[in-house]
Amino acid sequence: MRWSLRARLIRSTTLATAVVLLAAGLLLYLLVRDGLVDQFDRALADKARLLASALEWEGSELDLNFDEFDLHEFERPDRPAYLQIWLTDGAVAFRSPSLAGADLERLAGSLDAPPCRRVILPDGRPGRAIGFTMTPKTEGSSPPPDAAAVTMMLARGTASVDAVLAQLAVLLVAVGLVAVALSAGVLWLAVRRGLRPVEGLANRIAGLRQQDLAARVQAPDAPTELLPVVDRLNDLLERIENAFQRERAFSADVAHELRTPLAGLRTTMDVALMQPRADADYEEALRGCLRITLQLQTVVEHLLSLARLDAGQVEVAADAVCLADLVRDAWQPLASSADARRLHVRWALGAEGAVVTDLSLLGLAVRNVLENAVVHADEGGSVAIETVSDENETTVRVTNSGSRLSPQQADHVFERFWRGDLARTDVGVHCGLGLPLVKEVVTVLGGAVTARSLEGGEFQMTLTIPNAPPRAASP
Partner 1 sequence: MKILLIEDYEPIRTSVAKGLREAGYAVDAADDGAEGLWYARSGDYDVIVLDLMLPKVDGLTVLERLRKHENPATVLILTAKDTVDDRVKGLDLGADDYLVKPFAFEELLARVRALVRRKYDAHAPAIRVADLEIDTSTRTVRRAGRTVGVTAREYAILEFLAARAGRVVTRTDIWEHVYDFNAEPGSNVIDVTIGHLRKRLERGGRPRLIHTRRGLGYVLGESE
**Alpha carbon distance 148, 274 (integer Å):** 149
- For residue 66, CA distances in Å to 45, 70, 153 come to 16, 8, 15
Sequential DSSP letters for 413-462:
GGSTT--SSS--TTTTTT-S-HHHHHHHHHHHTT-EEEEEEETTTEEEEE
User: In the complex, what is the shortest distance from the CB of residue 267 to partner 1, in angstroms, rounded to a whole number?
Assistant: 4
Nearer to partner 1, 61 or 281 (CB): 281
Please report how close the Cβ of residue 211 comes to partner 1 at its closest, in angstroms: 14
Q: From the CB of 230, what's the least distance to partner 1, in Å?
A: 31
Indicate the residue among 278 and 422 with the shorter CB distance to partner 1: 422
Q: Which helix (H) or strand (E) holds 389?
A: strand 382-389
Residue 291 C-beta: closest distance to partner 1, Å: 7
Which of these, 323, 322, 461, lies nearest to 383 by C-alpha position? 461
Query: How far is the C-alpha of 375 from the C-alpha of 459, rounded, in Å?
Result: 12
CA 433, chain centre distance (Å): 41
Which residue's CB is nearer to partner 1, number 25 or number 264? 264
Select 27 or 273, whichever has its Cβ closest to partner 1: 273
Residue 423 Cβ, how far from partner 1 at the closest point, in Å? Answer: 4
Compare residues 37 and 258 and give the one whose CB is closer to partner 1. 258
Report the distance separating Cα 411 and Cα 408, nearest Å.
6
Residue type at position 395: T
- Kindly give the pairing relationship between strand 82-87 and strand 92-95: antiparallel
Q: Which residues neighbour 411 within 8 Å (Cβ) at sequence distance 6 or greater? A: 451
Of the two residues 189 and 274, which places its CB atom closer to partner 1 in the complex? 274
**Which CB sits closer to partner 1, 147 or 255?**
255
Contacting positions for partner 1 (CB under 8 A): 252, 255-256, 259-268, 270-272, 274-275, 288, 291-292, 421-425, 427
The CA distance from 117 to 128, in Å, is 5
Min dist CB 426 to partner 1, Å, is 9
Backbone angles phi, psi at 377, to 5 degrees: -65, 145
Amino acid 227 reads L
3-state DSSP percent of the chain in helix, strand and coil, to 5: 50, 20, 30
CA 216 – CA 237 distance, rounded (Å): 7
Q: Are 374 and 403 in contact (CB under 8 A)?
A: no
Burial class (CB in 10 A: 0-12, 13-18, 19+), 373: buried
Q: Count CA within 13 A, CB hemisphere, residue 277.
A: 15
We find the least distance from the C-beta atom of residue 414 to partner 1, in angstroms, to be 21
What burial letters (b/e) apply to 119-150, b meaning 16+ CB within 10 Å? bebbbebebbbbbbbbebeeeeeeebeeebeb
Q: How far is the CB of 436 from partner 1 (least distance, A)?
A: 19
Q: What are the start-end ranges of the H helices in 55-139?
A: 72-75
Taking the least distance from each CB to partner 1, the nearer of 263 and 318 is 263
Task: Please say whether the beta carbons of 292 and 265 come within 8 A.
Answer: yes
Q: Minimal CA–CA distance to 414: which of 438, 390, 441?
A: 438
Furthest-apart CA atoms within the chain: distance in Å: 168
Shortest distance, position 258 Cβ to partner 1, whole Å = 8
CA 229/CA 226 separation, integer angstroms: 5
In the complex, least distance from residue 289 CB atom to partner 1, rounded to whole angstroms: 8
Min CB(7)–partner 1 separation in Å: 49
Distance in Å, CB of 272 to partner 1, minimum: 8
Nearer to partner 1, 272 or 322 (CB): 272
Q: Which is nearer to partner 1, 275 or 474 (CB)?
A: 275
Burial class (CB in 10 A: 0-12, 13-18, 19+), 416: buried
Cβ closest to partner 1, residue 246 vs residue 259: 259
